[in-house]
Structures are given as structure tokens and as C-alpha cells.
Chain A
């Protein structure tokens, strides 16, 4: 989903504001929100990191940008608790004594025929990131789609997030670190910068030739 969470490359956000000597939690409710997310994940059927992350990604964009990190976690925990029947939205609003914003509904179908787990590439292969815009969860950032990079590391097989977030099935496939020249991504002549992104095999397609293969 091309959601508000997919922030890589967006402009206009201004300075990074650093808080000196920041504690792990600023207030008890932040630690509570973190605990509640873990608790909900142990109590709902078919939990996954993908489903949790997608519950944050589905927040109303204005709410996402205007709330702190642990409010994201709290909203996701409450959303999953409601969607999976642990509590009702009405109970939450009554108990909180006011509005209890939840994330927006899932917009994609349940995945019943997941793709086969694949391991098609090797270190040195040139790959192009697929140019596609899934409506559900994905861990393929938008800013690299359509761009060509080189596989620099193979990291073993892991559950495809796009499947686990919307399915009871789990499909493991290869993940890689892919190196992109910044100028390939932004076309701004930015010298001496690479952006290295970790990607599942399904996000990639072959881009012609391999650096590992002699080209003489």
C-alpha cells in the first residue's frame, strides 16, 4: 500500500529534531502502549509482524503524522483487538470517555493462493524492482520501484510480509540486500552515495546481466 508510512524520499519535512538524553519512555502510557501491542499479538488468531505493521500503516494519514510513535502502537493494538473480536469500538470509546480513533479497514482480499517462495538471484546480479502498487501490506518501499540495483548480499529465507499480513499461510523466500546508486534513484547527480535496501525475491525481476559474470 502506498501509505503515509512509506516516507523514503518525501520532501518538505524540515529538520530532524533531536532530544538530548532521551529516556526509553517519556511517560508510563508509552510503555503501556508497547506492552498492549505485544499482549494483543499473543491473543489474536494468526498474528504476524506484517499484520501488526499493516495496522499502523492503515491509520488515517493525518492521524499518523500528527501522533507520536507509541500512539501508532496503541492505535494498532486497539484496531487489531477490535477487528479480531477481543473488544468492541463502542466499549473502547465509552471507557476512554471520548473518541477512540482506529485504523481504517484493510483494502485487499485475503491471500489464498500465495506465490511460491523463490530464490532466483545471486550476489552480483542486476535486478529491477517491480513497478507495482499493491493495496495490501508490503515491505517494498515506493522510492525504489522501477529502479535498477545490484544484489550485494543474500540473507536467507524469511516469511513474505505481503502474504502473512493477509493470509493464514506463510511462504518463506530469499531476501537480499540491493545496492542502488543515489543518482539512479533521484537523477540529481548526487555523487558518492549508495542506498542499500533489503528486499524479498518477489519484489524483484532480472535486469539483464550479472556483475558476477565476466562480460568480455
Chain B
């Protein structure tokens, strides 16, 4: 889709060998800067606020958190039971929580596959997966996953048996979902940490299998 302000236009400076042509800021960059400047001049921006809002999501919060939750559920049956009964409390046990952290964990099982979408905006379980990828927030995924999930999953590389039940979860209210993928075969000898390394973001959204 053509965009009014593409990502490619967002860099101020490109190095072209011997020449240096600073690229002027794109319209959307100018608009963001304008709002920040005006609010700052009016004394409405507390020191450090702009930098602090996103810091955790750039470094500390991401799918590696969800991967630890999933790996724990694979090695500890009692943890798995707690996770499926009260996802929020179970992820809190591992030290994860915060905004968008009212979590329900939905388990894949033989013959059952779960997948998560937010058709109205971009609801996503931030404490365990971080901020959502662009495709999750854009129109094709939001429009199609509730309409033709088997077709779309196959397009995205997640080929399911025809008789596998698909459960689509449209997170339109206050719950956020994490899919608990099935533990891959042949991983019996792996440690919990090694298992966590196998768990991908896409498997916890439900657009991939492990």
C-alpha cells in the first residue's frame, strides 16, 4: 500500500559517498516535532517524559518474556495449570506485568490451533510480547483473520491439517491473549532456557507453529 509518509522518508541524513545531502524531515516528522515543541513551550512536558515512555519496550519487554512463560509451562505441569486458569497471575509469578497485562493464555493441542487478532485496533499482550509488529496493526491481517483464518494462516506459512479446529480470538475488550504453542517433538533433553529459545513471537500470536 502506498503511504503518505513511508518509513523510508523518515531518516534525516543519508550518506552518499562524497556528497552529503541532508534529507528534509518528512511531513509526519514535522508534525510530530511541532506538537512536541508547542507542548514543551507551554510547559506541559515533564523532564524525561518523552524518553521514558517507550524505554522499557525498546530493551526489556518483548517476546522473550512470553517465551519464558511458554517454556515454563512445558516443563512444569502445575505452572501450566495455573497459567491456563489465571494467565495474569501466572505471568506475574515470572515477574511480568503492567499495562495491557490482563492475560488469558490459550493452549494449542493436537487438533486445536489458536490465533489472536484485534479487528478494531491493535490490542496485544504487551508484558509478554512487547509492542505488536506492523502487520498485526494493519488492515489486511485485521480484516482477514476473522473471515478466512485457514486461508490466511496458510498464506503466512502456517499450514494446518484440514480437520484442525481453529479458534480465533478477537481481543476487543480488556483481555489480552497469548497462545501457548505445543512443545516440539524431540526436545526432551533441552533445558528450560534452551526451550525458551525455540519459542517465537509468531507462535505466541498463533500465526506460526513450532
Contacts and interface: CB of A to CB of B under 8 A. Distances in A.
Interface of A: 5-11, 13-19, 22, 24-36, 38-40, 43, 53, 56, 63, 65-69, 71, 74, 77-78, 81, 86-87, 91-92, 95-100, 139-141, 143, 153, 155, 158, 175, 177, 182, 185-186, 190, 192-200
B143 A8 contact: yes
Main SS at interface, chain A: mixed
Interface string B15-36: 0000000000001111111111
A11 B147 contact: yes
Given A36-B39, A92-B35, A192-B164, A9 B146 contact: yes
Nearest to B102: A155
A90 to B, nearest CB: 11
Interface stretch (B129-137, B179-187, B189-197): B129-137
Contacts of A155: 102, 104, 173-175
B82 interface: no
A120 to B, nearest CB: 16
Contact of A66 (B2, B54, B163): B2
14 contacts: A13-B139, A24-B58, A36-B32, A36-B50, A67-B4, A69-B134, A71-B28, A86-B42, A97-B30, A140-B172, A155-B102, A177-B104, A194-B167, A198-B174
Contacts of B171: 198
A196 B147 contact: no
A175 B174 contact: yes
A143 B131 CA distance: 26
